[in-house]
Structure 1
Amino acid sequence: MSTSKNESRRCGGCLQAIDHSGHLTCGLCGQDYDLHCAGVTAQCFGTLTGDRRAAWSCAACKSRQPKTDNTETPARAGEGGVTMRRGASRPPAMDMELDESLIDLAQETQDGAQHVGSTEPAGFQALVAEWRQIREDIRAELRQMRDDFRADLKAMRGEMRELAGLVRRCEGRVDVVEERLETLEREAGGNHVAVGARVDAVEARMEAAERRRAEAGPDEAEGLRRTVEELKLELNERDQEALLADLEIGQLPEQKGENPVHAVIVLATRLGVPLEERDVVFAERVGAPPAEAGGRARRVVVRLARRHLRDELLRAARVRRAVTAEGGGRVFINERLTRSNRQLFHRVREECRRLEWRYSWTRRGRIFARKSDGAQVFQLRSPGDLERVFGLQQKN
C-alpha cells in the first residue's frame, strides 16, 4: 500500500485513477480501491494501522469466502456494494425495517469510529439519513393526528354536555306540562260533573213542566210555557259558563296542514300578549272547510288554560282593532258564545245598525246594547227581549 500519487494505478470500483489522498489494497485479490469506493473516510483512514490496512479485503472477495454457518449474519453484500438484509427482495430504499444496529454502524462510520472491516459505502449513509427523516415525518404526522383527535374529542364532549343540559330542561318542562294537564283534567272533570248535574236537574224540571202543561188549562199552560222558557234560558246560561275561557277568532288565514295552536300564539304575540303552548288547552277550526282555495277561512275556537289570559287577549284586541294576521288581513277576536247566544247577538247587531244604535257588545257571555254615549245599557237574554228593547214585534 502506498499513499503517493501513482498514475498507473486505477480504482477497482470506479476505474478512475487513484489520487494522492490514499487508497486501500485488497489483501486477497490485490486490487486497489480509492477511499470513496472502499467506504472509508479520510479521517478513519488516518487512524488505521499498517496491519489493519494489510488485512483489509474488498466486498467482492468477502462475498466469495466460504461460510460454514451464516444463520446469525445480520447483513449481506448486495449489488453495487450496498448492504441488504438477508432474504430481502426489494432495494434497500424500499425496506422500511432497518435494524437499529445498522443505523448505529452508519453513525460510527460518519464519526470516524468505524473499523477497517466495514463494507458499507456512502450510499448506505444516505439511506439511513432518508429513513430517519421518514421516521421523523411519520412521528410528526402521528403527533398532529393525536392533537386533532384530542381537539375533536374535547369539542364532542362539550356538545354532549350541552345536549344533556337541553334534555334535562326539556324533561323539566314536560313534567310541568304533565302537572298542568293533570290539574286541568281534574278541574274539567269537576266542572263537567257539576254542569252535568245541573243539566240533569234542568231537564227533569222541563219534563215535569211539560207533563203539567199537558194536564193544565190555558192559563196554567201559559205559566208553564214561561217556566219552560226560563228553564231554557237557565240551561243556556249554564252552557255559556262552561265557555268562559274560550275565544273565537274570525278571518284568520287558513292553510293546509297548519297548526292552529301555533297560529294563535303568533297572533297573541302581535297583540302584545305572550303565550306558550301550555297556555292553550286546544285550538281548532270549526265549520265546513272552504270549497276552494282562497275561500273564506273557517273560524278558530280556542280554549285557554286560565280565564285572565282570555280577558287580556280580548282587551288587547279591543285596543288594537286593526290587528292583522301574517297574511295582512284583519282579524276579529270575540268571546265564544253558545249557538243560541250567537244567533241572538247577530240579530241585536242588525237591529242596532237598522236603528242607528252605536254600541252592541258581549261581556262574559252576556249581550248588551246602548243607543249612544251616556244612554241606558240594555241586557238581552232571549229573542223576546228584542221587542222589549227595540220595539220589534216578535214573529213566532
Structure 2
Amino acid sequence: MSLQNRKICGGCFEPIEDSRRWLACHLCKEFFDLKCAGVTERRFHGTLVGERRDAWRCVTCVSKQPKRDNTETPVRAAADGVTMRRGAATMSPSSLDASMLERDGQENPNATALNITMEVTDVQALFLEIRQLREEMRDEFRSVRAQIDTLIGRVSLCERRVDAHNERLGDIERRLEAVESRQATISSAPGSETLTQMERTISELKLELNERDQEALVADLEIGHLPEEKGENVLHSVAVLAGRLGVALDERDVVFAERVGAPPAEAGGRARRVVVRLARRHLRDELLRAARVRRGLAGEGGARVFINERLTRSNRQLFHRVREECRRLQWRYSWTRRGRIFARKSDGAQVFQLRSLGDLERVFGSPSI
C-alpha cells in the first residue's frame, strides 16, 4: 500500500501498517486498527467476519446512539459490571482497551472453555499421581505383610519347639523324681545292688536332661570380651561384630541378644558375656566358622573377642575342667561341636568325647583338684 493510499486510524491518528487488519465504522466511516478498535485477533478472525464486520460500529458512534426504553429493567449495583458513564470520549485509551477486551472475553466463551480444560487436565494429572502413590503404598504394605507373615511363622515354629522341649523336660523331671523317691525308699537297705543301679539311672537321667537342655541352645552363641557401654544397643553391637567377620546379619535374623551376669562394679571393668539366639542355625554355624578363621579379632577396646557355642551350665563347667586338664597334660586340642565336648592329645591321636565329670578320670587319668 502506497503512502497516499494508507488509511489513517481514527483512534490514534497513525497510518494503519497492515492493510488486512483494520475495521471501518458502519456509521462514521472512520478506519481503526485492531488495538484502537478494542478487538482481539481471535475475535477479528473468528466471530467478527462477513456481515458482522460490515456492521461494526466504533465506540464513539455506539455511545451516541439513543438508549432504548429500559424502565422495566431492575436497578443493578456497580458491582455487576455496568458502566455508569455515558459516552467514551472521556475514557483513556488504556481503560478503553481493558473495557473492550473484557467485553470481547464475555462474547467469546473459548477462553473460558480453554481454562476449564486446562484445570481438568491438571486435576486428572493429580489423580494419576495419587493413583500411582496408592499403588506404591499398596506394594509396600504387601511386602511388609509378607515379612510379618514370615516372622509369625518363625515364631510359631519356635513356640512349637519350645513346647515339645518343655514336654520332654517335664517327662524327664517326673522320671527323675520317681527315681529319687524310690532311692529314698530303699536307701535304708545296706549293701543292696538296687541302690547302685538307681544311682546309675539317676546319673544317666541327669545326663539326658543336660543333653535336652543343650539341644534347646542349638541356635545360640556366646560372645566374650565384647566391649560394654552404658545404654548400649546389644543387638546393634552384635550386627557390627558379624559385619567385621564378613557375615551379613540382619536384625530379623536375631531372636534376642542380651548380656548375662552381674554388671561390672566399676567403669572399665570386665564386660559381661553376650548371649545371642539366631533364627536360623546355619547363621550360627557361619559365624562360628568366620570366628575360627579370624581368631585374633579385637573389639573396640583392643581386647580379643571370643565367639563360641552357648553351653549349659553343666557343660560349661565341664569344658572349663577339660581345658585345665589339657593345659596340665599339654594336650593340644579341646573344642566343642553342637554342644558336645571333645579333646585330643595331638594330631592323628584318638578323639575323646566327655559327657560328665566322671569322664575326666577315664580320659586324663587322675584329674587335678
TM-score > 0.5, shorter chain as reference: yes
- Could you tell me how far apart the structure 1 residues matched to 2:211 and 2:203 are? 12
Q: 2:154 aligns with which of 180, 183, 195?
A: 180
The aligned residue for residue 233 of structure 1 is 207
TM-score, normalisation: structure 2: 0.65
The aligned residue for residue 335 of structure 2 is 361
The aligned residue for residue 161 of structure 1 is 135
Contact 1:280 1:302 in 2 (8 A): yes
The aligned residue for residue 351 of structure 2 is 377
- Could you tell me how far apart the structure 2 residues matched to 1:166 and 1:200 are? 51
The aligned residue for residue 312 of structure 2 is 338
Alignment of 1:65-104 (within 5 A): 72=73, 88=78, 97-99=80-82
Output the amino acid matched with 1:374.
Answer: G
The aligned residue for residue 129 of structure 1 is 97
- Could you tell me how far apart the structure 1 residues matched to 2:137 and 2:161 are? 36
CA distance 1:243–1:46, shift in 2 (3 Å): closer
The aligned residue for residue 204 of structure 1 is 178
Q: 2:278 aligns with which of 279, 282, 304?
A: 304
5+ residue gaps, structure 2 = 1-11, 14-22, 31-59, 106-110
CA distance 1:232–1:125, shift in 2 (3 Å): same
Provide the secondary structure at the position in 2 that maps to 1:313.
helix
Q: State which structure, 1 or 2, has the greater radius of gyration over its C-alpha atoms.
A: 1
- Could you tell me how far apart the structure 2 residues matched to 1:149 and 1:188 are? 57
CA distance 1:177–1:227, shift in 2 (3 Å): closer
The CA deviation string for residues 33-64 of structure 1, in whole angstroms up to 9 with x for no partner, is xx99xxxx99678549xxxxxxx9xx9xx9xx
Compute the displacement of 1:367 (Å).
1.4
Output the amino acid matched with 1:120.
Answer: A
Q: 1:213 aligns with which of 169, 187, 190?
A: 187
Provide the secondary structure at the position in 1 that maps to 2:187.
helix
Contact 1:283 1:300 in 2 (8 A): yes
Structure 1 residue 289 and structure 2 residue 245: aligned? no
Contact 2:340 2:355 in 1 (8 A): yes
Aligned length: 309
Provide the secondary structure at the position in 2 that maps to 1:121.
coil
- Could you tell me how far apart the structure 2 residues matched to 1:157 and 1:377 are? 68
The aligned residue for residue 245 of structure 2 is 271
Compute the displacement of 1:193 (Å).
0.9
CA distance 1:167–1:125, shift in 2 (3 Å): same
Compute the displacement of 1:203 (Å).
3.2
The aligned residue for residue 78 of structure 1 is none
Give identity over the alignment, percent: 53
Provide the secondary structure at the position in 1 that maps to 2:348.
coil
Provide the secondary structure at the position in 2 that maps to 1:321.
coil
- Could you tell me how far apart the structure 1 residues matched to 2:275 and 2:143 are? 31
- Could you tell me how far apart the structure 2 residues matched to 1:314 and 1:175 are? 29
Contact 1:250 1:332 in 2 (8 A): yes
The CA deviation string for residues 100-136 of structure 1, in whole angstroms up to 9 with x for no partner, is xx7xxxxxxxxxxxxxxx7222626532423547998
Contact 2:224 2:273 in 1 (8 A): yes
- Could you tell me how far apart the structure 2 residues matched to 1:316 and 1:223 are? 45
- Could you tell me how far apart the structure 1 residues matched to 2:150 and 2:194 are? 58
The aligned residue for residue 349 of structure 1 is 323
TM-score, normalisation: structure 1: 0.62
- Could you tell me how far apart the structure 1 residues matched to 2:325 and 2:171 are? 37
Aligned-CA RMSD value:
4.4
